[in-house]
Amino acid sequence: MSKRHPAGRHFLQIPGPSPIPDRILRATNRQVIDHRGPEFATLGLTVLAGMQRIFQTRHPVIIYPSSGTGAWEAALVNTCSPGDRVLMVETGHFAILWKKIAERLGLLPEFIPGDWRHAIDPAQIAQHLAADSAHTIRAVACVHNETATGITSDIQAIRAAIDSVGHPALLMVDTISGLGAMPYQHDAWGVDVSIAGSQKGLMMPSGLSFHALSPKALEASKSARLPRGYWAWDEILAANVRGFWPSTPSTNLFFGLVEAIQMLEEEGLEQVFARHVRHAAATRAAVARWHLEVLCQDPACHSPVVTAVLMPEAHDADRLRQIALEHFDLSLGMGLSKMAGRVFRIGHLGDINDLTLIGALAGVEMALGLAGVPHERGGVQVAMDYLRETA
């Protein structure tokens, strides 16, 4: 017997990949063009200039046909040498994965432990760098928006902490889930390597990753001694001058990227950011009414793209997620690593509006009831009231 087709549209409320707007899907649905021809050169220059505007930088942007994981590696191999120390902070699952890549590359991560409930403490960064009088720490690498925990760290404060002790370390920032969904200013914040991906705030299919670079990062790459071929900035930048790439680019994703940039700029970046903040606040209002607990304990650091919710003791978050999927065609984010089974994550990023969010929250509330999770009903109503009052 064939599998039953669920009526209606699937609610993809994970913190990325985010739902892809029909405009972007249609844009990618084109015949491929010659990636060495003049039409592609125009396309290449268009997406590079557009991504400079999204990163808010005057400096070069690199586009790789890869996931964000590849861009993590690329940031390190282009700037570091074997045995270099890299200061990293445990904000959650993805910070740990980046650390593992650094270790595999022969680097020496100095990992500041965290409890997965608080953002990066800039004072700890300053303390570690001040103790490095020989300036052997090559880079500070941190996650801007940790989707495993729903925590956003203050990049400007981290830059100020580095500068306060006069340390020359590069600042590398993973804003894979932040770019296009929350404020990010590569130049103004003094970031040396910003890392992003296509499948989050940019509303794209996965498959593109990005670096925004500073002059300091480009200078550092000249003396870096880790092996690099495919990831090498110099060959890519040389080809980019005329709108080309040294390897085969993801042409059809570029078609979609043009549309994604246009959609963000049509709405206006400030309006996009405000929409995400508003939807995050409505979600947290619903969670509070359910008498559940948000994982992030610092209200100033709540992520605008995802809310991680702690389950009561003896209740399994994965069972709740399964019920939500089977009964309401609603996908929620799973708990990762040490939060597996302990949290579920409500994604509210990308191409969603008030009604999308309310539908998702209704699915969560109904799933809580079916799963027998102790909660107070009325979270959806509280969220609706908030959205109405802030419309």
Is residue 304 a contact partner of residue 282, using CB atoms and an 8 Å limit? Answer: no
238 and 285 both lie in a single domain: no
For residue 285, the one-letter residue type is A
Three-state secondary structure string covering the chain:
CCCCCCCCCCEEECCCCCCCCHHHHHHHCCCCCCCCCHHHHHHHHHHHHHHHHHHCCCCCEEEECCCHHHHHHHHHHCCCCCCCEEEEECCCHHHHHHHHHHHHCCCEEEEECCCCCCCCCHHHHHHHHHCCCCCCEEEEEEECEECCCCEECCHHHHHHHHHHCCCCCEEEEECCCCCCCCCCCCCCCCCCEEEEECCCCCCCCCCCEEEEECHHHHHHHHHCCCCCCCCCHHHHHHHHCCCCCCCCCCHHHHHHHHHHHHHHHHHCHHHHHHHHHHHHHHHHHHHHHCCCEECCCCHHHECCCEEEEECCCCCCHHHHHHHHHHHHCEEEEECCHHHCCCEEEEECCCCCCHHHHHHHHHHHHHHHHHCCCCCCCCHHHHHHHHHHHCC
Q: In the listed set 265, 281, 313, which residue is the last one of a domain according to the structure?
A: 265
pLDDT, position 48:
98
**343 domain-assigned:** yes
Q: Are residues 147 and 160 in the same domain?
A: yes
- Same domain for 192 and 273, yes or no, is no
How many residues in the chain? Answer: 391
pLDDT at 349 over 80: yes
Cα-flanking dihedrals φ and ψ of residue 357, to 5°? -65, -45
Please report the pLDDT score of residue 243 as a whole number: 98
Whether residues 272 and 211 share a domain: the answer is no
Domain for residue 352, yes or no? Answer: yes
134 domain-assigned:
yes
8 Å CB contact between 284 and 161: no
Q: Find tokens 């040396």 and name the residue.
A: 192
We report the CATH number of the domain holding residue 283 as 3.90.1150.10
Q: How far apart are CA 157 and CA 162, in angstroms?
A: 9
Q: Do 109 and 223 share a structural domain?
A: yes
pLDDT at 2 over 70: no
How far apart CA 44 and CA 47 sit, in angstroms, is 5
Q: Which of 221, 242, 265 is the last residue of a domain?
A: 265
Across 282-309, average pLDDT = 98
**Does residue 197 fall inside a structural domain?**
yes
> In this structure, what are the phi and psi dihedrals at residue 308, rounded to the nearest 5 degrees?
-95, 130
Q: What is the pLDDT of residue 6?
A: 78
Where in the sequence is the domain holding 163, given as residue range(s)?
22-265
Instruction: Evaluate if residue 315 carries a pLDDT over 70.
Output: yes
> pLDDT tens across 223-275, in order?
999 999 999 999 999 999 999 999 999 999 999 999 999 999 999 999 999 99
Per-residue confidence band for 36, with pLDDT thresholds at 50, 70 and 90: very high
Same domain for 66 and 204, yes or no, is: yes
Looking at the fold, whether 260 and 138 belong to one and the same domain comes out as yes
- Give burial (CB, 10 Å; 0-12/13-18/19+) of 105: middle
Q: Give yes or no: residues 355 and 342 share one domain.
A: yes
Looking at residue 1, its pLDDT comes to: 47
For residues 133 and 141, the answer to whether their CB atoms sit within 8 Å is no
- Could you tell me what percent of the chain has a pLDDT over 90? 98
pLDDT (average), residues 315-323: 98
In a domain, residue 1? The reply is: no
CATH code of the domain containing 131:
3.40.640.10
User: Closest Cα partner for 156 from 188, 179, 189, 187?
Assistant: 189
Domain count, the chain: 2
Segment 295-310 mean pLDDT: 97
Peptide bond into 109 cis (omega under 30): no
As a whole number of angstroms, the distance between CA 195 and CA 207 comes to: 14
Q: What is the pLDDT of residue 7?
A: 86
Average model confidence (pLDDT) across the chain: 97
**Same domain, residue pair 49 and 162:** yes
Same domain, 233 and 343: no
Q: Do 192 and 219 contact (CB within 8 A), yes or no?
A: no
Cα distances (angstroms) measured from residue 280 to each of 163, 206, 298: 32, 23, 14
Domain boundary among 234, 265, 296: 265
| β-pair partners for 174 | 143, 195
Write the single-letter amino acid at 111.
F
258 lies in the same domain as 282: no
Strands 61-64 and 209-213: antiparallel
Read off the pLDDT of residues 68-95 as tens digits, 9 standing for 90 and up. Answer: 999 999 999 999 999 999 999 999 999 9
Tokens of residue 164, six digits: 């306060």
pLDDT digits (tens, 9 = 90+) for 98-141: 999 999 999 999 999 999 999 999 999 999 999 999 999 999 99
Tell me how far apart the alpha carbons of residues 56 and 201 are, in angstroms, rounded to a whole number: 15
On whether residue 112 sits in a domain, the answer given is yes
Whether 251 and 277 map to the same domain: the answer is no
Q: Is residue 3 a part of any domain in this protein? A: no
Position 144 pLDDT exceeds 50 = yes
